[in-house]
Structure 1
């Protein structure tokens, strides 16, 4: 995970958008300063996404550091030796997160010199005693279920006045903390559902709901494990924290820079090499990051200038980094916080989620590499000369030790089939050992003193513990606040929502999928991926499964949840609010809207995958347990995605003729929906893989047709050079 930098002031996402527009309007006259400011804006976007921004100092700074380290130590303890009831873990996790938010993010976030006329609010651009008081009350209200658990259990369904007071205080202060850390969108959605819960009986008949009383609402939300303390917060408290901490520590240890240099060594010399290196580097970083914006800040500050150097336009350089970093959340084994919640909702081991996500994720990355090759071919670009690239073997050896914790993680998850929290804990222990000894070893090799190097290693570990906790604040708030929506749905709203969606779609599963995809993109513009997934999965995943059954075919619950997950991620680069596009555009010095549109055009090849695996369950390896069969499905998914990319980008090995585009789309259908083609031509379902050669034949035919044109273009480019 990305660790926040020390900044002079805090800034909200809306303010970043406003100032980014001003930043791009005058970049012609301030080229060099804007380059520096662009990177800083991207870093602030990453910090805004994670929630906490490191401008605390003095007593507040020390208190924040201590609380954050204690939180990390608590999470490591419950993963190893400390046995605590699950509801206590959730309450303590929420209390740590909520007090960190109030100690770090003030009521209003702006620079005091922007609006000197707002004298009354100037004291509130920084944390004040009021924030301390609110933080203490918020933490106490979060811990209330822990402090009086036996009493609450005995009076289940019959809350006292004290229960109601602490429950209302928790809901209000939680929504305010969520507003501070990730913006107003999620609290507004939660308030809408709360209002609907109380006003349901007064709604028109078609959307009428029996409604809830205050006692039932507080009992569900704050006195049980069906609301705020539900599954999303449980996953955040037991699993996600450890993986966020692991990613933060890996970045602090220097693995992010190693991944970029390794990718450049491997791919930098090929046509459009920096773009390919950006994609590979972002994929490697994204496996442990779980954040598209943090991924851009980590890799894009290095790869985007390199792409521009070899000839990529600024907009396309930024868009490639956007597409690569966004897809990092799809890449196993970590896949961001939402993947762990999928495992809990679907009630399967996490390794099953990894298995289901593997083919679509890696096929999507392969297609993006192909798109970068297409763009390089269009522009007549070449790679970076080998002499300018770092040497492969020394680069690999310099960071080979970073593979040890990753290897431990994969070994624990895949070979030993241990729980995700145990796997992450043991990988963190290996990583801590590496962080402790890598500086002394380097000092010994350089003939320097070992003790200062050992102190530096210890300092890195404690800073990582603090940064990991700070990075979790946004995720914890998102999962807790989304739990309110999940709790309202569980109160009886779920069946009504399914009925409404059925009426809107007219019972048509395709229309239902487009409604879900559009809603995910729309909601995801203002929410983190995790919150978007929780909201959409709660509302639409059961409806997708039920509508499929109504139409006579089975949609696996895993496929429905992955569908919501994919489109929640794609919202990160969807104009006009895609934050990932703003971050990349700032670094590339490109217009953010154009960068977002271009990035979305690249990501169309990812957007078709959910529609395909809803109907072709082979793509998520459903009931596929053979390695040869799985590899065949993966290879054909890559070919289908390549063909789709060629059709949408207007280029295969040469510029497409209009009549070639339907042929390329046909290849996509043959390779991704062999079951459908087999049903059309009368081939039995168990013989559907014989459709693959027909798709390859069409693909080869298009290659032969375009080859003479490609040769003429190569000769023309050579003559021009």
Structure 2
């Protein structure tokens, strides 16, 4: 048995429709004929441009980033309709006008590059008009590809920059002219063409291209097969296999919805087949797929953006994120195990599952591209070089696998197709970075960042946990319906400084806001990943979201722990302290899971659940005294329930 032999509940078309229902980035037109070929050519040229500039030398910042935005704008106005429910697959006349305007504003920037550089701060009326058009084009393109949430936030920030003198009290400022705001937003390298776009135009695009080729080489199916082989036979096996598969595949992708639908079309039917409730099956996949973005090495590209905002080496961020991610998935794994035990759900027969030895023997080489990219990053190569190495190795592996596996074709046609698909997958990220850049630019221009971080601290009275709680709420609210990349950029600009101000280490502060921005995708009422999972499972969307939130309890607790005890993110850490913290935290996950699920060795009473949950919290906190008390309490419940269970069996 393998994923190739399992018929998903959704074919490719149905998967596309489901993703489009919950995520604006999948509502693109299916163009054919001359326009379809034109889009294909533009997408391929864009990918080749990115590979060329990354391998042979980047262009000046405004040219590199401006051209990057230009390609994205052209493709979006051809591919994405004005209205989400427009299924005509026809490019309207006004889309061509917007396309021409997009080419014009980028060409103006590139052609007048040196002139604009020399007259910085003394821009002309023409510069202002071009900049206003460019900002409008970026905002409309973002709306089409990412939905209304992000442009609403960026629009509010632009209004704040213009009408700041009308804002009463603490957040008031002198206000800026339309000329200043527009030229700052488009011509400078502090806003649309700022740090987020720098990251997007260099290595994020290449990592998305790498992810495309990984999918085409068959590594996704191989990883799912491997997950089934490892965990499929155990108690609640299909759900555990879903967690392993989603953790390994989700790290590359930056879309919780795409992760959920892609893996869930296979794993959710398997979970239901052994008796898992529909809501629970959809929730498992949603929680695991969302958490994939928390998993190093790539973390849905956030690891590389984080290096720019924190000025910390990539290796420091990836290693620091490892233990929290492990705790996240351990928590889901235990919850799934307890649910299966509670309902007597067995795994799949070993005879129907792929064999680990056979998978490793026949297709071990499929894991090499990931090994190559991790090796290059750890050895200190730039993310661009590492991504290029990953792309090169995935192409070689693709050719080898296409030669060995007669059911899979991989040749020059697939290489070119990958250039097209990789460019298309970059569109929502580019626009998210562009609109988030507007927000970052306003924050920088007006000094709002300092005011916000100081305001949060004032509101909380400087109390650590209250500051973290307010930051958590802000991160979840902003994360609802907002692309992950944009959400992190905004949080890193606004919320993270407040945590740093009260003494939280830089890495812990940025991971804190990143975590809560991510879990917005499984937090009702706007739990997009959970809603996508419910579409496959045929379950109630809201109930699926509630179940996903319960499964992902670690994501709501662990950030508080590593923010106050940063040894979990390897800050001020020694091998002994890290080992102790990891072991006690993993044991603590059993207590917390038992308290949340209401089942440990057997169904638990209310007081047992409270003791289990409390002992788990004490163990997760890496303090010897607290962990010791937590261990004693957990052991007491274990002994009590074991004795009680033995008596029940005898009776």
CA distance in 1, matches of 2:275, 2:595: 23
* Residues 1:528 and 2:483 aligned together: yes
Q: Match for 1:63 among 15, 38, 48?
A: 38
Superposed displacement of residue 612, structure 1 = 1.0
CA distance in 1, matches of 2:433, 2:335: 35
Number of the residue aligned with 2:242: 278
CA distance in 2, matches of 1:200, 1:478: 25
Superposed displacement of residue 137, structure 1 = 1.2
SS at match of 2:606: coil
2:73 touches 2:138 (CA, 8 Å); kept in 1?
A: yes
Q: Match for 1:664 among 612, 615, 620?
A: 612
1:41 touches 1:586 (CA, 8 Å); kept in 2?
A: no
* Residues 1:432 and 2:395 aligned together: yes
Structure 1 window deviating more from structure 2 (692-701 vs 362-371): it is: 692-701
* Residues 1:288 and 2:242 aligned together: no
Q: Match for 1:640 among 559, 584, 588?
A: 588
Where in structure 2 are the equivalents of 1:233-248 lying within 5 Å?
A: 233-248=197-212
1:300 touches 1:587 (CA, 8 Å); kept in 2?
A: yes
Q: Match for 1:477 among 431, 455, 459?
A: 431
CA distance in 1, matches of 2:650, 2:246: 34
Q: Deviations over 1:290-320 (max 9, x none)?
A: 3221211221111111110101011101011
Number of the residue aligned with 1:305: 269
Cα 1:132/1:38, change in 2 over 3 Å: closer
CA distance in 2, matches of 1:535, 1:102: 25
Q: Match for 2:102 among 96, 115, 138?
A: 138
Superposed displacement of residue 218, structure 1 = 2.4
1:35 touches 1:587 (CA, 8 Å); kept in 2?
A: no
Superposed displacement of residue 198, structure 1 = 0.9
CA distance in 1, matches of 2:465, 2:520: 20
Where in structure 2 are the equivalents of 1:99-498 lying within 5 Å?
A: 99-111=74-86, 126-414=90-378, 416-442=379-405, 456-491=410-445, 492-498=447-453
Cα 1:230/1:37, change in 2 over 3 Å: closer
Cα 1:506/1:694, change in 2 over 3 Å: closer
Cα 1:670/1:165, change in 2 over 3 Å: same
Q: Match for 2:551 among 602, 624, 629?
A: 602
CA distance in 2, matches of 1:589, 1:50: 23
State the number of aligned residues: 643
Cα 1:709/1:260, change in 2 over 3 Å: farther
SS at match of 2:413: helix
Number of the residue aligned with 1:719: none
CA distance in 1, matches of 2:282, 2:593: 18
Q: Deviations over 1:298-345 (max 9, x none)?
A: 211111111101010111010111111110000000101322211100
Superposed displacement of residue 657, structure 1 = 2.5
SS at match of 2:345: coil
2:46 touches 2:71 (CA, 8 Å); kept in 1?
A: yes
2:29 touches 2:81 (CA, 8 Å); kept in 1?
A: no
SS at match of 1:354: helix
1:619 touches 1:637 (CA, 8 Å); kept in 2?
A: no
Q: Deviations over 1:646-700 (max 9, x none)?
A: 211112222223222343233233323244xxxxxxxxxxxxx465444333322
Superposed displacement of residue 544, structure 1 = 1.7
Superposed displacement of residue 473, structure 1 = 0.1
Superposed displacement of residue 34, structure 1 = 9.2
CA distance in 1, matches of 2:32, 2:514: 38
SS at match of 2:77: helix
Q: Deviations over 1:70-113 (max 9, x none)?
A: 1111111222123422332111111111111011012223256x
SS at match of 1:107: coil
The TM-score normalised by the length of structure 1 is 0.85
CA distance in 1, matches of 2:429, 2:506: 24
Superposed displacement of residue 387, structure 1 = 1.4
Q: Match for 2:59 among 55, 76, 84?
A: 84
Number of the residue aligned with 2:18: 42
Number of the residue aligned with 1:11: none
> RMSD value over aligned CA atoms?
2.3
CA distance in 1, matches of 2:444, 2:647: 64
Superposed displacement of residue 461, structure 1 = 1.4
Number of the residue aligned with 1:585: 534
1:272 touches 1:382 (CA, 8 Å); kept in 2?
A: yes
CA distance in 2, matches of 1:488, 1:274: 48
1:318 touches 1:595 (CA, 8 Å); kept in 2?
A: yes
CA distance in 2, matches of 1:354, 1:473: 25
CA distance in 1, matches of 2:223, 2:625: 39
Q: Deviations over 1:474-511 (max 9, x none)?
A: 00000101100000000122222234323433333322
Unaligned runs of 5+ in 2: 1-7
Where in structure 2 are the equivalents of 1:606-621 lying within 5 Å?
A: 606-621=555-570
CA distance in 2, matches of 1:645, 1:189: 36
Superposed displacement of residue 156, structure 1 = 0.9
Q: Deviations over 1:120-142 (max 9, x none)?
A: xxx8x731232122112113323
CA distance in 2, matches of 1:619, 1:139: 48
Number of the residue aligned with 2:460: 505
1:273 touches 1:382 (CA, 8 Å); kept in 2?
A: yes
Number of the residue aligned with 1:653: 601
2:66 touches 2:106 (CA, 8 Å); kept in 1?
A: yes
Superposed displacement of residue 214, structure 1 = 2.2
Unaligned runs of 5+ in 1: 1-31, 113-122, 447-452, 549-553, 676-688, 717-721
CA distance in 1, matches of 2:647, 2:413: 60
The TM-score normalised by the length of structure 2 is 0.94
CA distance in 1, matches of 2:490, 2:649: 50
